[in-house]
């Protein structure tokens, strides 16, 4: 509902014309939420069949927040119907789906935005702004972790849920983009050139096929390194937004235990500043101006869900693909898909395709 709430907060720019869900109870709940204190909710249509909603004429764009195996089929349906798309993570569940998605975005000419909302959390925005100003010097290493015990989500209303098969039913780093996106944004135009994934094995008592955790090393085109931990089974408190970056002038490290992140950097006034930690709050002046307005105060992920919707709307208004475009979506998602091959082959290093416009057929292959 956080994204819906963000759209409600922009009545002059967007109107929620339709909602779709297989669950009639969820639809009724969504309808009540949309219509509450919303003068712009007249004519709201409700659907249980996705194709019926897409055929509804009064829709310019769709936001896809369904189970991950539905993302590409639903995105393609929307794109082929001339609709813009913002899609939740991951972008796809197979490499072939990534190629289908890219080809359909290119052919349609419509906006596709990857809804990697962790990039929009205020802490990540502050650090990214400091990176852009060169305050960490040249970056050469980063880390991201997503440790979130999801075992209680395997079943839904007494039935085996989709997560049992499409997340915890597969091996490798199946859900990497929350831990990867905010770090990769700090490396600017660099890209992931190769990955290798490692696992301590399967020790959980649930009968799941997923490794208890995976550590994935991403080698960037520049030779720099990014390390990812994805872990949705281990019995431990949640730490879904742990990040670290290291540069020639200092570093940033988030707090795994729910507290404030810390920064240590050298400056002209304090050449040894890298040797002492300072709280991130001392650098809040680098938070982008639009975050200070408070417009996203009621949205999830520290207001980030508001600003990701705002950027999607702006991309449509300006007819310019957003920063988190289909090629970024494919690169970050491919880490999950190639990780499955790597971890099952003893940590084999695998090349990541260079996702970009108008790739040739020969480039759309995986080298083992």
Planar angle of CA 203, 206, 211, nearest 5 degrees = 45
CA separation for the pair 166, 345 (Å, rounded): 20
- The pLDDT assigned to 207 comes to 85
Taking only the tens of pLDDT, the chain with its 368 residues reads 678 888 988 888 999 999 999 999 999 999 999 998 887 788 899 999 999 999 987 899 999 999 999 999 999 999 999 999 999 999 999 999 999 999 999 999 999 999 999 999 999 999 999 999 999 999 999 999 999 998 888 887 778 888 888 888 899 999 999 999 999 999 999 999 999 999 999 998 888 889 999 999 999 999 999 999 999 999 999 999 999 999 999 999 999 998 999 999 999 999 999 999 999 999 999 999 999 888 877 777 888 899 999 999 999 999 999 999 999 999 999 999 999 999 999 999 999 999 999 999 999 988 88
Beta-bridge partner residues of 214: 230
The pTM (predicted TM-score) of the whole model is: 0.95
Q: Can you name the residues that pair with 85 across neighbouring β-strands? A: 62, 112
Measuring CA to CA, which residue among 255, 275, 257 is closest to residue 267? 275
Three-state DSSP state, 197? strand
Res 1: pLDDT:
64
Place of tokens 């872990």: 231
């Amino acid at each position: 509902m956080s994204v819906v709430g963000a759209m409600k907060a922009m009545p002059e720019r967007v109107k929620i014309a339709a909602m779709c869900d297989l669950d009639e109870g969820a639809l009724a709940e969504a309808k009540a939420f949309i219509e509450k204190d919303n003068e712009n909710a007249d004519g709201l249509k409700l659907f249980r069949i996705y194709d019926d909603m897409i055929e509804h004429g009064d829709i310019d764009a769709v936001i896809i927040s369904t189970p991950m195996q539905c993302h590409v089929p639903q995105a393609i349906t929307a794109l082929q119907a001339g609709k813009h798309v913002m899609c939740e993570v991951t972008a796809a569940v197979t490499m072939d789906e990534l190629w289908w998605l890219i080809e359909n975005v290119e052919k349609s000419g419509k906006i596709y935005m990857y809804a990697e909302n962790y990039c929009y959390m205020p802490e990540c925005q502050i650090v990214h702004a400091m990176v852009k100003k060169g305050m960490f010097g040249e970056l050469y290493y980063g880390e991201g972790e997503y440790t979130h015990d999801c075992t209680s989500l395997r079943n839904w209303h007494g039935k085996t849920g989709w997560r049992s098969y499409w997340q915890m039913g597969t091996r490798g780093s199946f859900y990497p983009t929350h831990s990867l996106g905010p770090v990769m944004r700090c490396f600017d135009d660099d890209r992931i050139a190769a990955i290798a994934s490692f696992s301590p094995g399967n020790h959980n008592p649930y009968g799941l096929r997923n490794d208890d955790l995976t550590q994935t090393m991403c080698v960037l085109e520049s030779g720099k390194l990014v390390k990812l931990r994805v872990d949705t089974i281990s019995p431990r408190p949640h730490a879904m937004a742990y990040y670290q970056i290291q540069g020639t002038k200092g570093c940033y490290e988030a707090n795994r235990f729910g507290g404030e992140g810390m920064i240590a950097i050298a400056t002209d006034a304090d050449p040894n500043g890298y040797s002492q930690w300072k709280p991130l709050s001392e650098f809040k002046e680098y938070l982008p101006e639009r975050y200070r307005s408070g417009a996203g105060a009621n949205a999830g992920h520290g207001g980030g869900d508001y600003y990701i919707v705002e950027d999607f709307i702006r991309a449509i208004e300006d007819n310019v693909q957003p920063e988190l475009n289909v090629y970024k979506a494919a690169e970050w998602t491919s880490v999950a898909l190639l990780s499955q091959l790597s971890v099952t082959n003893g940590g084999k290093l695998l090349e990541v395709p260079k996702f970009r416009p108008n790739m040739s057929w020969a480039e759309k292959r995986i080298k083992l």
